[in-house]
Amino acid sequence: IAIACSLRLPSALNFTKVRTPALYVRKAADRIAMRFLNLFAALSLYGATALAFEGDELSEVQAQAIEALQAAEGNNTFGKRDSCTLFNARVRRDWNSLSGSEKKAYTSAVNCLLTKPSKLTDFAPGARSRYDDFVAVHINQTLSIHGTGNFLTWHRYFTWAYENALRQECGYNGYQPYWNWLSYREDPSKSPMFDGSETSMSGNGVFKYHNGSTSGGGVYIPSGEGGGCVTSGPFANMTVHLGPVSPGIDGLAVNPGGPLAYNPRCLSRDISAWTSQHWMTPENVLNLTVGAAAENILTFQNELQGRFGDGFLGTHTSGHFIVNGEASDLFSSTNDPTFFLHHAMVDRVYWLWQALHLREAFNIAGTITILNTPPSRDARLDDLVIQEPNAPNRPISDLLNTLGGSPFCYIYL
């Protein structure tokens, strides 16, 4: 196993003051070698060929999560798993750790899904592909899956359904990769994910003058060096069909025929280093897993999604506005294929939080309307997560454990 390891923990975070169960919380400086030996042993069983920690300040948290899950599996304290174990679970990995051929296999499968006929043409007349089916499902439910008690599980299941579509309908043999937000955060356009090469997720859009973007809470984001059509990489000259509904970027017009009407246009981006530098910081990400925001599920998900009244975008919203362009629309951000790598990272952070907070891991909090507007009841574990036709509808209670065996059996490395 080839492992590049660079552990860098911000000095501003004091791990000795984190109030979490004794199973997994220790001082950052204590027993670190043993943690990594445990992680490396686990990696050898997963058959992973590489794990790059360079630029990932979550590496120590990742090691603690694996150790906690190993202990929980040993004493059967993490719920029913059927035949799913840590050692036969799917392994989702950082895009930057994939080989060139693995990256090409993924983008080829996405392009395949873009050519498969839609199953939702009656419901979404503008849909032209199976990929559009995912866009349509997200658009249709946006106001009941953001700022809600089902936000985390809905998007977890959505991303899993997409991964399965790539595998079952387009012959993809890998698993859903994630976008490591902390890598290349000073300038995401220089990352292997956005460099525009044949092994990237395509690059920035061509330069197009515009007056910036408005994100959650009215936070202004200055224009970058893109704004126009994506013309490099696997998704060069890609056509999107649905939305926009509520674009954040200046100059992207709302679909005149309605959210689900046919509205062909190019995939656009304006990759924003400014947004990344402001909100995608190690302190903000670590706060979610081992800091004050990790206290309970409510504080965790509120910090993750953003405190808009305070002008704080959070890692979820800022991730969409780092990509910008089509991704700036809360409803139709799914038009950009990076959506699923971003939400895999959202899910990774949720997975880390769960592993490090086993007593609260299956709790939910929040209502069933966006930011409780209009006021609504609290979400319940028996609430259905609607994903048809992309996956069977399931209650939230089925979607809390990635090692539950049905439907999920995966981890992150």
C-alpha of 191 from chain center: 17
Dig out the tokens for 202 from the structure.
């395509």
Predicted confidence at residue 37, as pLDDT, reads 41
DSSP codes, 332-379: TGGGSTHHHHHHHHHHHHHHHHHHH-TTTTT----BSSGGGSS--PBP
The yes-or-no verdict on residue 370 having pLDDT over 70 is yes
Average pLDDT over residues 59-68: 94
Predicted confidence at residue 216, as pLDDT, reads 86
Contact 286, 61 (CB under 8 A): yes
Average pLDDT over residues 390-398: 98
Average pLDDT over residues 139-152: 98
What is the number of other CB atoms lying within 10 angstroms of the CB of residue 35? 19
The yes-or-no verdict on residue 347 having pLDDT over 60 is yes
> Residues 268-323: pLDDT tens digits?
999 999 999 999 999 999 999 999 999 999 999 999 999 998 999 999 999 999 99
Tell me the domain boundaries of the chain: 100-396
Predicted confidence at residue 184, as pLDDT, reads 95
DSSP state of 251: T
What percentage of the chain carries pLDDT values higher than 70?
85
Predicted confidence at residue 61, as pLDDT, reads 95
The yes-or-no verdict on residue 23 having pLDDT over 80 is no
Dig out the tokens for 31 from the structure.
């027993």
Dig out the tokens for 73 from the structure.
């599996």
Average predicted confidence (pLDDT) for the chain? 88
Dig out the tokens for 397 from the structure.
């209670």
* Alpha-carbon gap, residue 15 to 282, rounded angstroms: 14
Predicted confidence at residue 77, as pLDDT, reads 66
DSSP state of 83: T
Domain at 100-396: CATH code: 1.10.1280.10
* Alpha-carbon gap, residue 302 to 365, rounded angstroms: 10
> Residues 227-244: pLDDT tens digits?
999 999 999 999 999 999
> Residues 98-113: pLDDT tens digits?
999 999 999 999 999 9
> What band does 29 get if pLDDT is binned at 50, 70 and 90?
very low
Answer with the residue of higher pLDDT: 78 or 258. 258
260 to 27, 120, 121, 312, 316: CA distances (angstroms): 51, 10, 10, 31, 24
Predicted confidence at residue 76, as pLDDT, reads 74
> Residues 192-232: pLDDT tens digits?
999 999 999 999 999 999 999 999 889 999 999 999 999 99
Predicted confidence at residue 40, as pLDDT, reads 41
* Alpha-carbon gap, residue 62 to 137, rounded angstroms: 32
Predicted confidence at residue 269, as pLDDT, reads 98
Predicted confidence at residue 74, as pLDDT, reads 81
3-state secondary structure of 411: strand
| Continuous H helices in 97-209 | 100-113, 130-141, 151-170
Could you identify the residue written with the tokens 């056509």?
239
Q: Minimal CA–CA distance to 124: which of 252, 266, 237, 257? A: 257
Burial code (b: 16+ CB inside 10 Å, e: under 16) for 310-341 equals eebbbbbbbbbbbbbbbbbbbbbbbbbbbbbb
* Alpha-carbon gap, residue 332 to 105, rounded angstroms: 25
DSSP state of 51: E
> What band does 81 get if pLDDT is binned at 50, 70 and 90?
low
